[in-house]
Amino acid sequence: MAQPTNTYATNDMTGIREDLGGIIYDITPVDTPFLSTIPRTEASNTLHEWQTDSLAAAAANAVIEGDEASTDASTATTRLSNYTQISDKVARVTGTAVAVNTAGRANEMDYQMLKRGRELKRDMETALLANTAKSAGSDSAARFVGGVPTWIATNESTSGTAPTGDGSDTRTNGTQRAFTEDQVKTVMKAVFDAGGMPDMLMVGGFNRQISSSFGAGTKLQKVEDKTLHTAFDVYESDFGSLRIVPNRFQQARDALILQTDMWAVAFLPGRNMAEYELAKTGDTERKQILSEYTLECRQEAANGIVADLTTS
């Protein structure tokens, strides 16, 4: 079949209006489980410090009736520190870009700043969970926050070498091995013996799938909703419940066993996702969004790590 002679069709036309939807679709993940879960506090210096303490070991503690009271030994608190890190994002758009009629957003600068804010939050999550030692920086080098893997030293399952546990040095990677439930059980017992009460198991995507096989991979069929359940969100251990949380921004080779109230992110006043207009040097607008923050590890022995895991 052919189109009849002199039929005027859309391929002959020049005045058709464009069909551009009013929604911008973006599936880039913006969830930051660690940053969104742990408490927030305030820093007052680029070197943020806090103290930890512990009790003497428990004993049978029997004394003779009428005996002279003896003085028990006292120990000093431990003083810990971490450096604030500055993370920023900058958007720049022309005056024309602000003036034109745009689809999917009312103002181009506002839209770009929204994107930069989400990107900054992802960067912060990545920095807090990185195996990066704290650093004071200099006039030519940025300060770095000591990330979670540099603090956990007491309770671990690893084929590498543990850090000192004060954020000053990194964890040395070892030979990667498969993630198992026994590794989690071993670390959980060590954390319990140290006095911790973890509530979160945070893993990368691959090892989140592996964790679904814990407990012999039991599968449940709910007839009423016709759903086959092959995964679970909470792991009930001998020493408490762990919420299993996948995190795209942590090291995929680590399984972090965390007591979330024993961590905090500290911001310098007025520097938590703060926005600034930068100097105008032409027919453009520039805005900066930044955070200055650090990680507070309130008691590393309340946490654990299963390190050096396979990731594929």
Count of Cβ atoms closer than 10 Å to residue 16 Cβ: 7
Q: Measured in whole angstroms, how far is the alpha carbon of residue 291 from the centre of its chain?
A: 15
CATH 3.30.200 fits 28-51+78-306, yes or no: no
Q: Rounded to 5, what percent of the chain is helix, strand, coil?
A: 20, 25, 50
The tens place of each residue's pLDDT in the chain, 312 residues long, gives 788 887 777 788 888 777 777 777 777 878 999 999 999 999 999 999 999 999 999 999 999 999 999 999 999 999 999 999 999 999 999 999 999 998 888 999 999 999 999 999 999 999 999 999 999 999 999 999 999 999 999 999 999 999 999 999 999 999 999 999 999 999 999 999 999 999 999 999 999 999 998 976 555 555 566 555 556 789 999 999 999 999 999 999 999 999 999 999 999 999 999 999 999 999 999 999 999 999 999 999 999 999 999 999
3-state secondary structure 32-81: CHHHHHCCEEECCCCEEEEEECCCCCCCCCCCCCCCCCCCCCCCCCEEEE
